[in-house]
Structure 1
């Protein structure tokens, strides 16, 4: 860039050439001047404690302190709220755990009460610090996690118990029946010799409804030369039940039945001397005493004895 200077005091026009380095030098000098002036004013303000600058610095400090205080207050309030929520959650989990334990049949052990020394005095609440609040929150969070695991275990136990109760043959297969031959050795009613009776007999009029003793799947519903019209039900885990000498079969093989559902009618078919139901319970093919299972139900007391 060239600048031409023309003046009456000059005999001839003068030309000034401005190079880019000259412009950079001017800007650098200006920047240095501004920084020097700012540093000088700051030094004078601090050294001589000028009121305007001192008030400005005090205002900035107060604003910063207020921001820090608000931040801490909000955090403490949030932490206190979280602490209260966790404490309420622990109480709810304790109450729910006790109810589930009762339903599952597992009573939680009651801790022995520990004698405390005599104490007293006025109540002077001691507010928790941020660190103490965080520690208490962490502790209660761990307690909640432990309680949740315990409740999950109780829930599984309760579900297992309910399934087990539904699959155990505890329902009387015949209502309003008389108790006949028990499980064990007896004199065979036809051969007259000592023989093993692998079930129990229920005596009732012909046509009396027969129901499944528990939930299961029909694995056999057919005529047997000795058992007559017979139904076998698989209850799972190797547990089966058998219903023999029926006059009619109301189910077919492969069908699922529920405990108390009708499967046929009482009769006198097969190797039998009169109308009755022969009821068996087997575990892995081995005959068990059905009375041990029926006694776990609420209907066993209804059995009539002659």
Structure 2
């Protein structure tokens, strides 16, 4: 990222112990749009107001906007690669698109701070929005997901994370921004846990206990790790994942909230194509025999200064 690139939102902050993923739609009407736009200037102030009370908890919030919402709230110019979430797959194995105008990705090491900030955000928006999805996520032991494997092992780190997740000269007008795709997955743990560990490892492509990647001559081409590895011009293209586990044992709900940041939606969309359709078609991700996506959305995350400036933008 160039020295003069605007400051990003908290996209590259370290993974915390807790998170709230809040997706809302904006109700029709000028007053509702004005209410949401006004919040853009105050998100960071609300983070400071709540987070200063417990600085070690690392409270942050990333705010992103869907394609239709961007047009309705802000108009032109618009991010070049922002579009509605593209569904892929068919039948039971399908990445579906669900409603969503604004995404709030709230993180902290303590859920009470996430809860407090979400409460303030919702109070500020009031009746201007409708909540379509709210997930309270938690870090599961040593960064494992609900199926028992370490999640995000190949995440880029440090400078590399910024290079893969934050726009630089690709879209100069939106430098410091990011694209983010979110999906909520529910797992059939009864069926999954009935598999031998060795079978689970072949589906994921890694050892369950050690997290070591399986050798190429052992790992199936349909493994999750194989299909989510993307190369372009001979180099691997990475995304930045901040996935979280969630669930309600009393309701038999066990899930993983996928959230991936990138400079362009393209690598994540290619991963989903590989997973749900297959590479080649039919060679799909066998994890999807035990997991299903129940939400899907694509959002653009403006830089921190642009987010504040959007308060004064009108379409």
Q: TM-score w.r.t. structure 1 length?
A: 0.21
The structure with more helix, counted as a fraction of residues: 1
Of structures 1 and 2, the larger Rg is shown by 1
Q: TM-score w.r.t. structure 2 length?
A: 0.20
Ranked by relative contact order (alpha carbons within 8 Å, sequence separation 6 or more), the top structure is: 2
